[in-house]
Structure 1
């Protein structure tokens, strides 16, 4: 595969299916948690003392972590605050798209049934000159990738 270059990881967008968001609510600094583990169960066989048999049981997905510069007027943050402050949970499907230089999707992850479990803002520090970054942590059922 001469001439192949892997895609860059800094050109992406995040779309919330069930939240009417603007362009700013689709832009994030980072997306983390797009991984999956397979849980296993160990079975001990009588007479076999060298090892335990391990069998796959189910998949396990970590929380999705989204970071960006703080937005003052955000429908995504309103959605998070409704869940955290008012305990009103309205799960949303989320699509993460890795984009090419023409802003076309190269790869897509579809996160199913996500809802907020944590919202935080980085510490303020008068000795540093940096943006205020907010972090949104979401629990979800599973994702598919295309």
Structure 2
């Protein structure tokens, strides 16, 4: 069974941007997200009798990387990065959602609290390609919560 040209053009190429990142109500698409992890410092306590005990300490900061983003006509990450001055930065809440192939249905959403940018990398420039507007954006945040969708 052959597909018509309209069916093929509607389904190909297979979409590679499956993460939606929302900041201040604006959404962007990214190919990769890393660093969404929860971790705590480990505190070791030794009593006077030779006993050794371990317990969780403070929550460690999140180091999140957003890779290969398409932000056509949106300069908010560049403006956010350039607004940092004299150790002052506006911290923002961000939501990162994993979507289905069509980009409409949500599987999981990570809500990142008090994030701010620490590094913004531009793509390698190539006249034959215009797909990527941000190669990598590194953020630091206080915490993350996870929401699973039906």
Q: What TM-score does the superposition give when structure 2 sets the normalisation length? A: 0.68
How many angstroms apart in 2 are the aligned matches of 1:62 and 1:47?
A: 37
Aligned mate of 2:22, from 5, 12, 15: 15
Partner in structure 1 of residue 117 of structure 2:
116
Partner in structure 1 of residue 144 of structure 2:
143
Give 1 or 2: higher strand fraction.
2
In structure 2, list runs of 5 or more residues that go unmatched. 1-15
Q: CA RMSD in A?
A: 3.0
Is the contact made by 1:35 and 1:61 (CA closer than 8 Å) also made in structure 2?
Answer: no
Q: In the TM superposition, what whole-angstrom CA distance separates every residue of 1:28-86 from its partner, at most 9, and x where no partner exists?
A: 121111011121211112222xx621111122133111122575742222212222x68
Is the contact made by 1:40 and 1:54 (CA closer than 8 Å) also made in structure 2?
Answer: yes
Within 5 A, what are the aligned runs for 1:10-89? 11-16=18-23, 18=24, 21=26, 26-48=28-50, 52-68=52-68, 73=73, 74-83=75-84, 89=89
Evaluate the alpha carbon distance shift between residue 119 and residue 79 of structure 1 in structure 2; reply closer, same or farther with a 3 A threshold. same
Partner in structure 2 of residue 105 of structure 1:
106
